[in-house]
Amino acid sequence: MVTATRPGMTDLERELSRIAGAVPDPELPVLTLGELGVLRGVQVLGPGRVEVALTPTYTGCPAIEAMSSDIEHALHAHGMADVSVVTVLAPAWSTDDISDEGRRKLAEFGIAPPRPQGPAAAGGPVPVTLAIHCPNCGSTETELLSRFSSTACKALRRCTACREPFDHFKEL
């Protein structure tokens, strides 16, 4: 489980971050918001008052409202009377924010995880990784069927080895 942490967090803030991070993503319920890397921070503002920072996977993400509502419900159930979820657009979310566990779960669920972008985000050399592995058989012999799939952040591909179609979580 990935949680948003910062220096000086209290035990309560760490616990609330763990709870918020455990909320399933509404579009990819196999992943938690913590594994997806969209939970940016949790701060207790006073007794029973908490603010949660959330970054959408892309600016027009229609799931941000559902994510916010689900976090509010989870934290209300934990005794927080006043929960505020704020959207943070900078720094922008990247597929590099998905945890290793999240990538493993995507592949296990039949969705090819995004290829790591690595140092490119920090201005370093761009790694060249062209192969997209089929989550069914592992082959790198795949073809693009559609740039968009069930959500805008996924593409539809087919493995030419086992002929199975699959979603690929696009790199950002």
DSSP, collapsed to helix, strand or coil, labels residue 143 as strand
Supply the range of the domain harboring residue 70. Answer: 11-87
Together in a domain, 15 and 81: yes
**What are residue 84's DSSP bridge partners?**
51
Indicate whether 133 belongs to any domain.
yes
Length of the chain: 172
H helices then E strands: how many in the chain? 4, 7
Together in a domain, 16 and 67: yes
List Cβ neighbours of 7 (8 Å cut-off, separation of 6 or more).
none
Indicate whether 3 belongs to any domain.
no
**The model's pTM:** 0.80
Indicate whether 65 belongs to any domain.
yes
What are the tens digits of pLDDT across the range 75-121?
A: 999 999 999 999 999 999 999 999 999 999 999 999 999 887 765 44
We report the CATH number of the domain holding residue 18 as 3.30.300.130
Together in a domain, 108 and 163: yes
Q: How many structural domains is the chain composed of?
A: 2
Together in a domain, 78 and 114: no
Together in a domain, 15 and 80: yes
What are the tens digits of pLDDT across the range 46-76?
A: 999 999 999 998 887 889 999 999 999 999 9
